[in-house]
């Protein structure tokens, strides 16, 4: 990427919390929170806000602490079509940024349209940081949150936390703060059991734990998790949907293993084997969907391998039939959902 002005940093991504957090770190590293911040609010007059920023950038600074400026929440970068007068103002802002050689400039936004000339010009002008989360970046972000609290967190705990909270970095930080306070003084590493005990299932309707227990085959623990699920929920269909989704993934992994497309070593598989298999079945570059294992994250899939190895393909196919039958039972006997799910757990455990 071309970088014509190393004094300008552009931070962008889809998560406003992570964008703001990263831009704040850069801002503090440059001026220890003593610089100027211009916040662009969609409720305010954009022409006025940009005009104020241009005026500051064009004015020679007499004080060292005023040599860093943060153009925060620059939402106009997400507008695919700005009015002509506002577009001209944005171009004037860029010209001021280019000529403000006595200042360091940070621009941050979680609203970007990468097709626009404005975005492309800015990535050429500045050192650009994209803070969008992929699996690796998500893991390192959670680990950084733990480190900020003086704690470590193991990889299984990270995976479970992300499963419970979804792709919500703000929730990750809140939960890590809670888990760190719980573990502080007793141990230095947050583990999977801590997350299982203290973190709610924000993203999954409280069905993550019973789903895990179903496939582990511990009937007593499965019953406890079902009781906990129905304490918060009245409808079992979301849980059944999650069970079917997990089972579909297990079926596909088991099939690939049985056909020899995935060779297992140390309860893991080769990413090269997985890539080759996706090309063999013409399934590469798919959008993420629970219906295709080839669209799933390989790190997540690797965590399922010990579970896959516990079950033969015939048993997994049998589970899918039982899940479908349970749906039919719930439709016919809506008031007996809890007992139907416990009966399903017994039937599944008998097949293990």
Q: Quick: pLDDT tens for 197-208.
A: 888 766 555 567
Convert the pLDDT of each residue in 24-70 to its tens digit.
999 999 888 788 899 998 778 888 999 999 999 988 877 655 689 99
Which residue would you say has higher pLDDT here, 4 or 316? 316
From 290, 316, 286, select the one nearest 301 (Cα to Cα): 290
Task: Give the integer Cα–Cα distance in Å for 186 and 334.
Answer: 46
CA atoms within 13 A on the CB side of 332: 7
Which residue segments constitute the domains of the chain, with CATH numbers given?
Answer: 8-130 (3.40.50.300), 135-198 (1.10.8.60), 208-351 (1.20.272)
Q: Which range scores top for mean pLDDT: 100-109, 224-233, 246-255?
A: 246-255
DSSP string covering 138-196, please?
Answer: HHHHHHHHHHHTT-EE-HHHHHHHHHHH-S-HHHHHHHHHHHHHHHTTT-SEE-HHHHH
pTM of the model: 0.55
Is 258 in a helix, a strand, or coil? helix
**What percentage of residues in the chain have a pLDDT greater than 70?**
90
Q: Dump pLDDT digits (tens) for 171-182.
A: 888 899 999 998
Model confidence at 299: pLDDT above 90? no
Question: Which one has a higher pLDDT value, 297 or 185?
Answer: 185
| DSSP of 313-331 | HHHHHHHHHHHHHHHHHHH
Comparing CA positions, the residue from 315, 328, 348, 97 lying closest to residue 222 is 348
Residue 4: the pLDDT is 47
Is residue 294 pLDDT above 70, yes or no? Answer: yes
DSSP 78-104: G-SS--HHHHHHHHHHHHHHHH-TTSE
Asked whether the beta carbons of 151 and 188 are under 8 A apart, the reply is: yes
Among 199-203, 240-244, 252-256, the least confident range? 199-203
Distance separating alpha carbons of residues 338 and 250, to the nearest angstrom: 25
Evaluate the CA torsion angle 25, 27, 31, 35 in order and state its sign: negative
Query: Binning pLDDT at 50, 70 and 90, where does residue 112 land?
Result: confident
**Mean predicted lDDT score pLDDT of the chain:** 83
Q: Does residue 223 contact residue 341 with C-beta atoms inside 8 Å?
A: no
* Tokens coding 250: 């297990």
Average pLDDT over residues 120-144: 81
**pLDDT value of position 2:** 43
């Amino acid at each position: 990427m071309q970088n014509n002005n190393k004094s300008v940093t552009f931070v962008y991504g889809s998560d406003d919390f992570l964008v703001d957090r990263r831009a704040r770190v850069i801002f503090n590293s440059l001026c220890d929170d003593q610089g100027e911040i211009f916040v662009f609010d969609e409720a305010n007059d954009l022409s006025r806000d940009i005009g104020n920023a241009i005026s500051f950038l064009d004015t020679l600074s007499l004080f060292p602490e005023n040599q860093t400026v943060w153009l925060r929440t620059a939402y106009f970068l997400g507008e695919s079509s700005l009015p002509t007068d506002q577009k001209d103002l944005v171009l004037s802002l860029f010209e001021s940024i280019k000529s403000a050689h006595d200042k360091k400039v940070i621009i941050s936004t979680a609203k970007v349209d990468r097709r626009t000339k404005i975005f492309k010009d800015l990535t050429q002008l500045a050192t650009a940081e994209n803070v969008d989360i992929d699996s690796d970046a998500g893991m390192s972000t959670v680990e950084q949150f733990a480190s900020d609290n003086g704690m470590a967190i193991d990889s299984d705990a990270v995976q479970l936390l992300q499963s419970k909270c979804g792709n919500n970095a703000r929730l990750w930080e809140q939960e890590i703060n809670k888990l760190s306070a719980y573990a502080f003084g007793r141990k230095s590493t947050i583990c999977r059991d801590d997350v299982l005990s203290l973190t709610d299932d924000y993203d999954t309707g409280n069905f993550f734990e019973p789903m895990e227990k179903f496939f582990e085959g511990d009937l007593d623990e499965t019953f406890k998790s079902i009781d906990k699920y129905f304490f918060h929920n009245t409808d079992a269909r979301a849980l059944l949907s999650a069970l079917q989704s997990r089972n579909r993934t297990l079926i596909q992994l088991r099939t690939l293993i049985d056909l020899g497309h995935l060779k297992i070593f140390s309860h893991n598989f080769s990413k090269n084997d997985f890539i080759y298999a996706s090309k063999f079945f013409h399934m590469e570059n798919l959008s993420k969907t629970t219906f295709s294992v080839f669209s799933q994250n390989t790190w997540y899939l690797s965590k399922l391998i010990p579970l896959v190895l516990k079950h033969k393909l015939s048993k997994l196919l049998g589970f899918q039939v039982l899940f479908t039958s349970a749906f039919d039972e719930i439709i016919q006997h809506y008031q007996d959902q809890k007992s139907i799910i416990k009966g399903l757990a017994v039937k599944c455990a008998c097949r293990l």
